[in-house]
């Protein structure tokens, strides 16, 4: 494994590489590679997940669209959305608009 940067306790294995990053930095990677993340800090790790559409031919495009549709309706994503709503409500209690 190759360590790309040390980070401040935030590490991720992506394929055969280990990367680290610090607060305020951005890390973009292809999540089709096997990956695993560790938060070795006392802080909360917040992730912004962005799905990029990959250029595919048929029938791959139809399969990918159906798969992503299932993911969007999954319990995992519904729970994440509920967590975001809870986070947002708590934030607005602290910082009213």
pLDDT of residue 96: 65
pLDDT number for residue 4: 46
Which residue reads 């995992």 in tokens? 76
Rounded to whole angstroms, how far apart are CA atoms 4 and 16? Answer: 11
- What's the chain's average pLDDT? 81
Q: Say how far apart CA 16 and CA 33 lie, in whole Å.
A: 10
CB 57 within 8 A of CB 50: no
Collect the ranges in the chain with pLDDT lower than 50: 1-5
Q: What is the pLDDT of residue 58?
A: 93
pLDDT of residue 66: 92
> According to the model, what pLDDT value does residue 90 have?
86
Strand boundaries in the chain, DSSP class E: 2-3, 10-14, 17-21, 35-39
């Amino acid at each position: 494994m190759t360590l790309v940067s040390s980070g401040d306790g935030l590490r991720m294995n992506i394929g055969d590489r280990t990367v680290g990053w610090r607060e305020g930095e951005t890390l973009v990677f292809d999540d089709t590679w096997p990956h695993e993340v560790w938060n070795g800090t006392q802080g909360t790790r917040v992730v912004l997940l962005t799905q990029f559409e990959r250029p595919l031919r048929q029938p791959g495009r139809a399969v990918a669209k159906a798969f992503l549709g299932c993911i969007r309706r999954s319990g995992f994503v519904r729970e994440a959305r509920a967590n975001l709503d809870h986070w947002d409500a708590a934030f607005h209690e602290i910082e009213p608009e």
